Amino acid sequence: MGAAKPPTWRDLHDDARRRLRDAGVDSPAAEARWFLEHVSGEPGDEVIVSPAPATRRGTVQLEGLLTRRLAGEPLQYVLGEWAFREHDLLVDRRVLIPRPETEVVVELALAEVERLGERRGRPDPWGAAITTFAVADLGTGSGAIAIALERSLPEAEVWATDLSPDALAVARANIAGTGASRVRTAEGHWFEALDDALRGELLLVVSNPPYIAESEVDALPAAVIEWEPYGALISGPTGLEAITRILGEAPVWLAPGGVVVLEHAPHQAEAVVGLARDAGFVEARVEADLTGRPRALVARRD
């Protein structure tokens, strides 16, 4: 009797898709395609119909990934990377998975910096890194916001802070991996992480802080609360603790005319505008995310 024929890539794909579907995963076809792309190194569209025998290594690796996914681990952690704007960032349980709404926050922040007269564009890979202004991403997690700002603002010095040393380790790996050499990291509570010399100097402060209230924990999807870092999600009893603190301190750290852009939950829109006015900001408005829900505060100091 001859040895059993090894499975083709297509066989592996069909089996993965069936197992994901049977487990109740929301998008089994898309996930199966991502997994096959990941383990084969081939474009997803081609590998899922490929009659070529799968490699032994790919077969074993796929089984390991599927086992984790079928146990409920988020796809992004299983893959170990996720796209944020044009970059694939390393992500694991030390950091929040970057979300599409945060890409909107970055876009708003870049528009504000441009409005303040700074140049937006790709950094010159051969040019000297001369910085003319400073911005900060507080609670950087994977480094997603800070890296996106650095890659689009060729003259910016970008500060990326976090309270969690674990998160900062991931951010540093992503900074190195994306070549975002003008990002500097600092550990500590919100503005406390920053050097005193930056007081009154920041053109922009961006943050996607924790904004979920303790009482809302039970309403979160299981995959979020069981896998993503609690300290990245939950702010405290009201959900507004971190935002209140950042807004309260931001005017001291911003340069005249400087702007703060903060992500928040849709139901917090009215509250965050009130908090910005209480903190002395002269302009405060809320912008919508890609689904049309109020999602980001943009506030300017005088």
Ligand X SMILES: C[S@@+](CC[C@H](N)C(=O)[O-])C[C@H]1O[C@@H](n2cnc3c(N)ncnc32)[C@H](O)[C@@H]1O
Q: Which residues bind ligand X (CB under 6 A)?
A: 95-96, 98, 102, 138-142, 144-145, 161-164, 167, 189-190, 208-210, 231-232
For ligand X, the closer CB: 49 or 217: 217
Least Cβ distance, residue 18 to ligand X (angstroms): 33
For ligand X, the closer CB: 209 or 258: 209
For ligand X, the closer CB: 40 or 207: 207
For ligand X, the closer CB: 86 or 124: 86
Do 160 and 151 touch, CB atoms closer than 8 A?
A: no
Least Cβ distance, residue 277 to ligand X (angstroms): 23
Q: What is the DSSP string of 66-93?
A: HHHHHTT--HHHHHTEEEETTEEEE--T
For ligand X, the closer CB: 169 or 255: 169
Tell me the backbone φ, ψ of residue 290, rounded to 5 degrees.
Answer: -65, -20
Length reported for the chain: 302
For ligand X, the closer CB: 70 or 224: 224
Least Cβ distance, residue 36 to ligand X (angstroms): 27
Least Cβ distance, residue 118 to ligand X (angstroms): 21
Least Cβ distance, residue 97 to ligand X (angstroms): 7
Least Cβ distance, residue 78 to ligand X (angstroms): 18
Least Cβ distance, residue 7 to ligand X (angstroms): 37
For ligand X, the closer CB: 74 or 209: 209
